[in-house]
């Protein structure tokens, strides 16, 4: 018989619970677009309506691995987010700001 995770978690030490929580948090910080949309409790239909495109266009976008930054920005903003592009280096992170102009240039996302 399957056991409920919350019952198993109660039996874990505080340290183990903390490790599990941190790992889950890290996993949630890195999601494909489809899972990000689902985490925001949006259907492809709902997101398509915001983007003013048809649902198959959203499905296609979620499967793409190469797209314009402006397209990705529209997708993220349609979910209520803001796209930020960062480069990670051993001595620190740098936000790449040359794409900020895209916000002003790209009005229509559909």
pTM, 2 dp: 0.65
Closest by CA position to 79, among listed 44, 40, 53: 40
- Direct distance between the N- and C-terminal alpha carbons of the chain, in angstroms, rounded to an integer: 49
Lookup: tokens for 86: 């960062």
Q: How far apart are CA 88 and CA 70, in angstroms?
A: 21
Going residue by residue through the chain, which has 110 residues, state the pLDDT in tens, using 9 for 90 and above.
Answer: 667 777 777 888 888 888 887 887 776 677 889 998 998 899 999 999 999 999 999 999 999 989 998 899 999 999 999 999 999 999 999 999 887 765 544 445 65
Q: What pLDDT is attached to residue 106?
A: 46
Q: What pLDDT is attached to residue 102?
A: 55
- Which H or E run contains 79? none
Q: What pLDDT is attached to residue 107?
A: 47
């Amino acid at each position: 018989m399957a056991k409920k995770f919350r019952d198993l978690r109660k039996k874990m030490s505080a340290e183990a619970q903390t490790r599990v929580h941190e790992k889950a948090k890290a996993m949630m910080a890195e999601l494909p677009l489809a899972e990000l949309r689902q985490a925001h409790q949006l259907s492809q239909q709902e997101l398509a309506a915001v983007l003013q495109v048809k649902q198959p266009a959203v499905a296609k976008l979620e499967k793409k691995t190469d797209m314009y930054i402006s397209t990705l920005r529209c997708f993220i903003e349609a979910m209520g987010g803001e796209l930020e592009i960062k480069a990670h280096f051993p001595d620190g992170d740098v936000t790449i700001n040359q794409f900020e102009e895209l916000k002003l240039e790209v009005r229509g996302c559909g």
